[in-house]
Amino acid sequence: MTTAAAPLSPEQLEAFEMPRPARGEALLWYPHGDRNETPEIGYVREVNRRGITLAVNGVAFAPVRHIDDPKLLLHSRQRENGAWEFPEDHNTKMQPIVADLRERLSVLERQVAALQEQFAAKAAPAKGKSSESPAAKS
């Protein structure tokens, strides 16, 4: 693992924003937080602000920091659960999936809006009807 040329400021440490993997997503896991080692495949169990819970061969590790998180450079304790990153082909694979999901979401949103309008139109005439029975009026 390479070390930083100059100490990192608290602002630099806090400014890092971890990429957000999805639960169940397969990621590369470096057991010692070093890109020079051979990674294993792990699966995301939980995503937090600064780290994830990663299951590797049935064992859960948490918190696992992203490989680019500057806190990994502070001390070996920051790397004791390893580090993760997306596989190299992650963006290539995800772009068509995300585009498809966005289109499907758009269709669903339009369908929900149409159903809401139908429901509102049916409910409006019912509001004008009296809830009293004819027998109760006499």
Residue 63 contacts residue 70 (beta carbons within 8 Å): no
Domain coordinates in residue numbering, the chain? 10-87, 91-125
Q: Which one, of 55, 53, 51, lies nearest residue 41 by Cα?
A: 55
Q: Which two tokens stand for residue 54?
A: 């990663």
* Model pLDDT for residues 60-107, shown as the tens digit of each residue: 999 999 999 998 888 777 888 999 999 987 666 667 777 888 899 999
- In the chain, the percentage of residues whose pLDDT exceeds 90 is 54
pLDDT of residue 4: 45
Residue 54 contacts residue 63 (beta carbons within 8 Å): no
* Model pLDDT for residues 45-64, shown as the tens digit of each residue: 999 988 999 999 999 999 99
Q: Centre a 10 Å sphere on the Cβ of residue 51 and count the other Cβ atoms it contains.
A: 21
Average confidence score pLDDT of the chain: 85
- What is this structure's pTM? 0.60
> Where is 118: in which H helix or E strand?
helix 90-128
